Amino acid sequence: MKQHRAMTVDGWIDGEQLGITYVHEHLMVKPQLDDPKYLEYTLQDEGASARETESFRAVGGQTLVEMSPLNYGRNVAAYRRIARSTGVHVICCTGFHKQQFMPPWFGEKSDAELYDLLMDEIRNGMDGTDIRPGVIKFGTSLNQITPDEERAIRLVARVHLETGIPISTHCDQGTMGLEQLSLLEKLKVDPADVLLCHIDSARNTQYAIELCRTGATICIDHVGRELADRDAARVKMISDLLEAGCIDHVALSGDMGKVNYLPAYGGQPGFAYILTQFKKELLRVMAEDDFNRMVVQNPRRILCGA
């Protein structure tokens, strides 16, 4: 079931309206664990998040996909306010993170109850609002898929097949992408409807190429972590993916859900980086049309099935 349009926090839009899109970001997020180390992964200043979003719009950005799922501090009402104040389309998600961040009630609910919860969010809205998700998420742990994570994958696959909502996954440090796809294919999910995130973190270009050749799309989304050499390793990986004929299966984003990454919170490089400094480095090894595939055409295909 293809949608040929995208669900934003303000309803459906045509794929052509998405424009330049980051497919994995965070605007308001709060990992639901007491460990103090997650304070730096907590974005709770709506004004600062709106300013960061405005900086994205100022350099040509048009759509952000907010990937905070259930039990990860999502704030869909704030996403709508940010979208309306900045003019940037925001798409948010339902679904589950990896084992560490799963809701404490996940194991207590039956498959039917979890399925009904996801379907209710997709059909009626999330967190007491009429805001509906435009993507569904699952995650897996470092080098393993736990039984709960496999259960979540099965639920997500079922919901995807019934609704057409695209799937975006968390591959911890880039791992388990092939294993995720193998399970999804057994569940009759077309790899073309799957976005595998954080693949650059595995630092293995041949692995990235293998994933692309399944028909899935990978996300290079830890851009901006190595500013000293202007992300040279990721520029090289993307160049190699282009040479291998895989650029139609690559999306770009920053996954900047951390105060240290956002100027509006006192960090760097921020949402503008990919469309400014990083783009400048990439245009040394590719044409602008190739860059646009990663931030316009490929995200549109994933989010709209077109």
Specify binding-site residues for Zn(2+).
24, 26, 137, 170, 198, 255
| Distance spanning both ends of the chain, measured CA to CA | 11
Q: Are 300 and 17 in contact (CB under 8 A)?
A: no
Pair 155, 117: CB distance under 8 Å: no
Instruction: Report d(CA 63, CA 200) in Å as an integer.
Output: 22
- CA pair distance 260, 251, nearest whole angstrom: 23
Query: Going along 96-234, which residue ranges are E strands?
Result: 135-140, 167-171, 194-197, 217-220
Q: How far apart are CA 290 and CA 241, in angstroms?
A: 11
Beta bridge partners of 171: 140
| Residue 138 DSSP class | E
- Going by the annotation, the residues of the binding site are 24, 26, 137, 170, 198, 255
Q: Please name the residues in contact with 109: beta carbons below 8 A apart, sequence gap of 6 or more.
A: 117
d(C-alpha 115, C-alpha 111), whole Å? 6
* Strand ranges across the sheet with 21-25: 21-25, 63-66, 89-95, 135-140, 167-171, 194-197, 217-220, 250-252
